[in-house]
Copies of this chain bind each other. A is one copy, B any other.
Amino acid sequence: MVSAVSDDRRYVLTLGCLDRPGIIAAITSFIAEFGGSILEAGYHSDLETGWFFTRQSIKASTVPFGVEELRERFRQIADELGPDTEWQVHDSGLRRRAVVLVSKEGHCLHDLLGRASAGELPATIEAVIGNHLDLAAMAEAHGIPFHHVPFPKDPAERGPAFDQVRELVDKHDPDAVVLARFMQVLPERLCEHWAGRAINIHHSFLPSFVGARPYHQAFVRGVKLIGATCHYVTAELDAGPIIEQDVIRVDHADGVSDMVRQGRDIERVVLARGLRWHLESRVLVHGKRTVVFS
């Protein structure tokens, strides 16, 4: 899908700014001037916030200069769109990197490893870090280094362990830090440090059932659908911008363990979709909401 093969290579421009007439014309005229071919284009004018968002996927082979010059030239367009404008140009020819944080439950990791092996994930998994050893063999069977960082029982004493995780993660300078059922609440300083890159899969349909044991909570409440939510990690627990959600039907015959089992099928696919969209620069965050050009 996304590879270094020149004909598939794309420069992906994402931009958010205050809306006003002429933005699309300015951007697309800029691209047309050098003969750039737009393969995918998404636009969204948010009438409630007055904000404008776009994602342009330009065929790299139709750009007569490099990505750095593309960024340089575009800067002038962006500057005219106002001081709050945020934008990026991502080169799909550069393979993206992910680091995965896990605990004992392996279904999400197994799924991600399978997608990575099949070339379906637009990233390489650089390392897996676990606070338990349970998933070491799974990572290593796929040739991915596994790092074990034991966590003390007392949450107040976990600072050094988080520092070690941070160090292990940061040396890969990853595009995505994936909390694949990591089960640890990141301290605020890590949330900020990895802002916009740390992605969690929560095993409920948020905002229902924040925090621990969501399937148990779902059983007690007697809901008829259970879900999973992929979201960016922020300092407030399970309250970050939502990238993707999905649900599956349950009924009175499903106990907590049945929900846990069936929920895994949703967790896997919701995480995979959310991560993919993040890696392909399809997700633009604005406050607590996301624009997803899927």
Contacts and interface: CB of A to CB of B under 8 A. Distances in A.
Interface of A: 1, 21-22, 24-26, 28-29, 31-33, 35-48, 53, 62, 106-107, 110-111, 114, 117-118, 120, 138, 141, 205-209, 219-225, 227, 241-247, 249, 251-253, 255-257, 261, 264-265, 269, 272, 288-292, 294
Nearest to A242: B222
18 contacts: A1-B257, A21-B35, A24-B24, A25-B25, A25-B29, A25-B32, A106-B114, A106-B117, A106-B118, A107-B118, A110-B117, A111-B114, A141-B141, A205-B205, A223-B242, A223-B245, A224-B242, A252-B292
A26 B21 contact: no
Contacts of A209: 207
Contact of A21 (B24, B37, B120, B244): B37
A221 B207 contact: yes
B244 A48 contact: no
Contacts of A249: 249
A134 B259 CA distance: 35
A265 B256 contact: no
B62 A38 contact: no
